[in-house]
Structure formats: structure tokens, C-alpha cells
Amino acid sequence: MNKPGKSFPRPLADVLHRTLNAVFAKQGFVSTELVTRWAEIVGADIAEHCEPDKIQWPRPTDGETPQPGVLVLRAEGPAAVEIQHLSGLVLERVNQFFGWQAVGSLRLRQAPLRRRAREPQPAVDAEAAARIAAHLPEITDEKLRDALGRLGAAIKRS
């Protein structure tokens, strides 16, 4: 009977590399780097509001050169218009990353981004909110006065 060979632990990145490449390939990504290095490629200000969803490649026809793909971006609702205006810059940076005209156009999909939850805002100082609300005696609605006090304290804090 043969004894199994010694098994050595492998880094998790090596094990997941094959699996992730297969998953990303189904979404049309040539490599995982477009997704994992998105903020470096397009810049932190753009990456904060959008992320690559997939690349749609046109079917090649016989004898023709391959056509550039369509990069589908997932963008937060209000930021989608701004991303649309910056589409030329995004295309330029993505193609510069690939080193060839890989992507010819963008398509935006308005949806929440799939990333970690944002850090919760710190609580407003109750004493400062009450102090500000006390300076608003002309507002008779108590809930509105309290809300304005909290707003003033939050603005003063930042």
C-alpha cells in the first residue's frame, strides 16, 4: 500500500487564484486585477462611486480583427451622471492599464456598490444639540427644533 506524500500548507491566495480566475472569466474579465486594483486604475475619487461589473465582448466574425468590449460599471444612483461625464477618462485609464484598446465604451448600471459597509457616523453630542436648540425659541414645533439642534451640532462637529 502506498503512503500519501507529505502535504504542505499553501497560501490561501494560491488556492483561491484558480477559482477566482474562473469566476471573473465568466464575467468577461481577462484578469482579476481590473477588479482588485480598480481604485489604482481609475483613481480613488471615481472608484468611490463605481466599480466594474463585467466586460461584454462582441463575438468575433471570421477574418475580422477583434472589436473592443463594453465595460459595464455598477454606479451609485446620483453619481452615475458624473461617471457618465467622466467616461472618456475612465476608458482612457482602463485601456492604459491593459496596454491596448480593450474597452471601447461604457455602460452604466445604477445599483448599490458591493463593498464593505460604511463606518457609522459618530453620535451627535446631546448637550451641544440642546444648547443650539435652546437658541431657536421662535420654532414652536418641538421635534423640528430638536432636529435642527442635532443638525447644528453635527455641522459644528465637522
What confidence score (pLDDT) does residue 82 get? Answer: 92
Mean pLDDT by 10 residues, the chain (158 residues): 68 64 59 83 91 86 80 90 93 90 91 70 84 90 90 83
Q: Where in the chain is the domain with CATH 3.30.300?
A: 12-110
What confidence score (pLDDT) does residue 4 get? Answer: 67
Q: Is-above-0.85 flag for pTM?
A: no
What confidence score (pLDDT) does residue 33 get? Answer: 80
**Does the domain spanning 12-110 belong to CATH 1.10.3430?**
no
What confidence score (pLDDT) does residue 85 get? Answer: 94
What confidence score (pLDDT) does residue 108 get? Answer: 93
Q: Which residues of 99-136 are buried (b: 16+ CB within 10 A; e: fewer)?
A: eeebbeebebeeeeeeeeeeeeeeebeeebbeebbeee
